Amino acid sequence: MRVSLRDGPRRAWTWLLAPVLLAGLVAAVSAYHLLPHGSLDVDELVYLNQAEALRHGQLTFDATEYTPDFRPYMTGVAGDRVVFKYQPLWPAWLALSVGSTGDHRPGLVVAAMAAALAFWLLARELTEDRRLATAAAVGVVVSPIFVTHSATALAYLPSAALAATALAAALRAVRLGGARWWVVAGTTLGALAFHRPFDAVLVGLPLLLLVAAPASRRATLLVAVAAAPWLILAGAYNHAATGSVVTPAFTVDAPHDTFGFGPRASFEPAGRPVVLPTEDPEPHDETVDYTPGEAARTTGKFALITPLWIAGGVVTLGLAAYAVVIGWADRRRRVLAGVVAAIVVGHFFWWGTSNLLMFLLQTSLGPAYWLAALGPTAALAAAGGRDLVRRVPRRRVLTLVGAGLVVSLVGDWAVAAVRIGDARESRDEQRAEWEAGAATVPRMSLTLVPGPLGNPFVHTVVPADLDAAPRLRAIDLATARQVFRLRDRFPDRSLWAWLPVRPPGTGLEAPRTQELTELPDLATAEVTVHVDVPGATTQWTRLLDDGGHELRRFSTAHLTAEDLRRVPKSAESPGWLAAGAMVRHRDGRRDNVEVRWMLRLKGHRIEIVGPGRGFRRFDYGGRHWLAEDVDDVLVARVEGLSEPRILARQALAHDSR
Q: What is the 3-state secondary structure (H, E, C) of 213-267?
A: CCCCHHHHHHHHHHHHHHHHHHHHHHHHHHCCCCCCHHHCCCCCCCECCEEECCC
Residue 607 maps to a domain: yes
255: preceding bond cis by omega (within 30 degrees): no
pLDDT averaged over every residue in the chain: 88
pLDDT at 276 over 60: no
Are 91 and 211 in a shared domain? yes
pLDDT at 611 over 90: yes
Are 546 and 409 in a shared domain? no
Tens digit of each residue's pLDDT (9 = 90 or more) over 382-408: 999 999 888 876 676 667 777 777 777
Residue 268 maps to a domain: no
Percent of the chain with pLDDT strictly greater than 70: 91
Are 544 and 415 in a shared domain? no
Quickly state the pLDDT bin for 340 (edges 50, 70, 90).
Answer: very high
pLDDT at 1 over 70: no
Which of 272-286, 405-419, 489-503 shows the lowest mean pLDDT across its residues? 272-286
pLDDT of 271: 42
Tens digit of each residue's pLDDT (9 = 90 or more) over 431-460: 777 776 777 899 999 999 987 656 788 889
pLDDT of 556: 85
Tens digit of each residue's pLDDT (9 = 90 or more) over 633-646: 889 999 999 999 99
**Count: domains in the chain:** 2
User: Which of 562, 623, 564 minimizes the C-alpha distance to 594?
Assistant: 623
Tens digit of each residue's pLDDT (9 = 90 or more) over 198-221: 999 999 999 887 776 655 788 888
User: Which of 245, 243, 162, 258 minimizes the C-alpha distance to 207?
Assistant: 162
Are 410 and 532 in a shared domain? no
End position of a domain, from candidates 429, 451, 481: 429
Are 57 and 178 in a shared domain? yes
pLDDT of 278: 43
End position of a domain, from candidates 375, 394, 429: 429
Residue 205 maps to a domain: yes
Residue 633 maps to a domain: yes
Residue 246 maps to a domain: yes
pLDDT at 565 over 90: no
pLDDT at 119 over 60: yes
* Boundaries of domain holding 128: 3-252+291-429
Between 42 and 396, whose confidence is greater? 42
Are 417 and 537 in a shared domain? no
pLDDT of 275: 44
| Angle, helix 130-141 to helix 9-29, in steps of 10 degrees | 0
Which of 13-17, 190-194, 222-226, 550-554 shows the lowest mean pLDDT across its residues? 13-17
Are 422 and 527 in a shared domain? no
Q: What's the rounded Cα separation, in Å, for the pair 368 and 620?
A: 48
Are 412 and 530 in a shared domain? no
Arithmetic mean of pLDDT, 316-341: 95
pLDDT at 272 over 70: no
Quickly state the pLDDT bin for 509 (edges 50, 70, 90).
Answer: confident
pLDDT of 52: 97
End position of a domain, from candidates 429, 455, 486: 429
Residue 457 maps to a domain: no
Quickly state the pLDDT bin for 180 (edges 50, 70, 90).
Answer: very high
Residue 454 maps to a domain: no
Arithmetic mean of pLDDT, 257-271: 78
DSSP percent split of the chain into helix, strand, coil, nearest 5: 50, 20, 30
What phi and psi values does residue 144 have, to the nearest 5 degrees? -55, -35
* Residue type present at position 652: L
Q: Cα 184 to chain center, whole Å?
A: 32
pLDDT of 132: 95
- DSSP 8-state symbol, 466: T
Are 422 and 525 in a shared domain? no
Arithmetic mean of pLDDT, 552-566: 88
pLDDT of 618: 87
pLDDT of 396: 66
pLDDT of 570: 63
pLDDT of 281: 44
pLDDT at 358 over 70: yes
Arithmetic mean of pLDDT, 584-597: 86
Are 211 and 337 in a shared domain? yes
Quickly state the pLDDT bin for 654 (edges 50, 70, 90).
Answer: low
Q: What's the rounded Cα separation, in Å, for the pair 16 and 19?
A: 7
pLDDT of 68: 92
pLDDT at 292 over 50: yes
Quickly state the pLDDT bin for 422 (edges 50, 70, 90).
Answer: confident
**HSE-up of 185 (CA within 13 Å, CB side)?**
27
pLDDT of 603: 84
Quickly state the pLDDT bin for 279 (edges 50, 70, 90).
Answer: very low
Q: Cα 631 to chain center, whole Å?
A: 40
pLDDT of 397: 65
DSSP 278-337: -S-SS--SEEEEE-HHHHHHHHHHHHHHHHHHSTTHHHHHHHHHHHHHHTTT-HHHHHHH
pLDDT at 316 over 80: yes
pLDDT of 326: 94
Residue 388 maps to a domain: yes
